[in-house]
Amino acid sequence: MEASEVRRAVEAAGATASALGLQVDDAVVIHNSDRIALRLVPCDVLVRVAPSAHRAGSEFEVEVARRLAEVDGPVAELEPRAEPRVYLRDDFAISFWTYYEPAGSEIAPAHYADALMRHHAALRQVDLGAPHVTERVAGALREVADRERTPALLGPDRELLSNTLSSLSTAIGSGEAREQLLHGEPHPGNLLKTGDGRNTPERDRGPAS
């Protein structure tokens, strides 16, 4: 978000939290991209604020987190002092989460793999409709095919990506394995090492085959 939009988002988050009876004296921006993550103090709550155009994505995150908490999955939990839903204020979609104090940034690969395995085991117990991974593949194919949207792609690179994405979609569509929700973007930025020793995937994106 641009600086002016960040200021509006922080104000919207603070006002919403105050309306819920949470004390807010300050807000610390933890992450800023197409949405922001804030730590509100002294109530010590993590707030995710997105433009209202991303409301559906925010609602999906909240619902997945709620369902995973019900089956004791390793996931960042919603803030218990707020209703488990997305709040709308000043053109922003706002959700409230438990704040976990990070316990360092280094996470052993084996611990990361274990967290993902436990996470996916919990997701197998969740019955929740979600976009299929092939929809994202199709979107990527459209961008690769559109030279105006991807002018930096050279001919050989464009051909390689097109062939790879097409064969990937075909392979997924012809597979016989049972499908389930997956953590769609596993990378260190989606993992939180907490003081209680849990390695927790923070959220779940699209499903895959």
* pLDDT 10s digits, 175-204: 666 777 777 666 666 677 776 544 455 443
> Is residue 141 pLDDT above 70, yes or no?
yes
| Residues 145-175: b if buried by 16+ CB within 10 A, e if exposed | eeeeeeeebeeeeeeebeeebeeebeebeee
Judge whether 55 and 86 are in contact, CB under 8 Å: yes
Closest CA relative to residue 89, chosen from 13, 166, 176: 13
> Is residue 207 pLDDT above 60, yes or no?
no
pLDDT at 206: 35
Percentage of the residues of the chain whose pLDDT score is greater than 70: 87
pLDDT at 34: 86
pLDDT at 41: 96
Separation of first and last alpha carbons in the chain: 32
pLDDT at 195: 65
Q: What is the CATH number of domain 3-105?
A: 3.30.200.20
Domain boundaries, the chain: 3-105, 133-176
Closest CA relative to residue 45, chosen from 87, 91, 95: 95
* pLDDT 10s digits, 117-131: 888 899 888 888 877
Token pair of 181, please? 């929700």
